[in-house]
Amino acid sequence: MKILPAIDIKDGQAVRLFKGDFSQKTVVNPDVLEQARVFKEAGVTMIHVVDLDGALEGWAANRDLIARIKAETGLAIQVGGGIRSLEQIEDYLAVGIDRVIIGSMAVKNPAFVEAALQCFGSDKIVVGIDAKKGLVATEGWLETSDQDYVSLALAMEKIGVRLFVYTDVDRDGTLTGPNIQHYQELLKALKQARVIASGGIQSAEDLEELKKLGLAGAIVGKAYYQGNISLSQLKEIDED
C-alpha cells in the first residue's frame, strides 16, 4: 500500500481543514515548497496535493506553485482541486505531474472523465469520490449530490477508471479513524479498479488495518501534521 503525505494548498500555504470546512483552516506550514522538501528528505516518493483555491474557484489556481514543487523536488505528485478541462489536465501532465484527480466533474459530466481517459490513459487519471453520509459531495465539498459513492464508483469503473481516491468528508481532519465499512463496500463492489483511502486516519494502526483490506494507498494529512504518525512510521508501512 502506497502512503501519500498530503499538502493542501490555500492562499499559497499548506493548510489542514476540519471536515472540509474552509472556515476551520489551520496553517501547518506557510512555505509549501519547504514542506515538500521535508517529505523528500524523509524518503517519501509520492505526495498528494490539493489545490483548495482551485476546488472553490473551478480552475487550477495554484498551478505554478504545484509545478515548482515538481521541478524542485522531483517527487511523484497526484493533484486534485479545480480540474474542469482537458487543457488543465494536459498542462499538469506537461509539467511532470504524475496523476490528476477529477472530482466534481465525475458527478456533473461523466463524459468529461471518459474523454480524459481516452486522451491521457487510466494510469494518469484518478477519480476522487468525496462523500457526506454516503452521498457524493462536489464543489469543494460545499454541495451534496443525490448519488451514492458506490454507484458513482461503479459507473466510473464501467467507463474505464482504474483508480479512485475515496474520502468520507465527515471524518476528514477529525482523527476519528477511517470509514472501514465504506472501503470494504467499495472493494467488494469494484471488479478492476483500486482505491486510495483518505480521511480520518489517526494512527499507524489505522494504516495497517487499511493495508490488510488490500487498498492501493492511503493519504495521510492531519495525523502527520499533529504528530500522531511520524515520517519514519509512514516509510515503514509504505510500499509500491
Render pLDDT for 178-201 as a digit per residue (tens, 0 to 9). 999 999 999 999 999 999 999 999
pLDDT at 20: 74
Q: How far is CA 104 from CA 15, 72, 112, 218, 223, in A?
A: 21, 30, 11, 21, 26
In this structure, is residue 90 part of a structural domain? yes
For residue 138, the cross-strand partners are 143
Which residues are catalytically annotated?
8, 130
pLDDT at 140: 61
Q: Can you give the pTM of this predicted structure? A: 0.95
How far is residue 108's CA from residue 131's CA, in Å, rounded to a whole number? 15
In this structure, is residue 121 part of a structural domain? yes
pLDDT at 56: 87
In this structure, is residue 240 part of a structural domain? no
In this structure, is residue 32 part of a structural domain? yes
For cell 451534496, the residue is 144
Quick one: pLDDT band at residue 220, thresholds 50, 70, 90?
A: very high
The domain of 29 spans: 2-226
For residue 219, the cross-strand partners are 4, 198
CATH code for position 210: 3.20.20.70
Work out the mean pLDDT of the chain and round it to a whole number.
Answer: 94
pLDDT at 23: 82
In this structure, is residue 167 part of a structural domain? yes
In this structure, is residue 232 part of a structural domain? no
In this structure, is residue 18 part of a structural domain? yes
**Three-state secondary-structure class, residue 148:** strand
State how many domains the chain has: 1
pLDDT digits (tens, 9 = 90+) for 22-43: 788 899 999 999 999 999 999 9
In this structure, is residue 239 part of a structural domain? no
pLDDT digits (tens, 9 = 90+) for 44-95: 999 999 999 998 888 999 999 999 999 999 999 999 998 999 999 999 999 9
Q: Sign of dihedral through CA atoms 136, 117, 161, 123?
A: negative
Calculate ∠ Cα 159-163-169, nearest 5°. Answer: 105
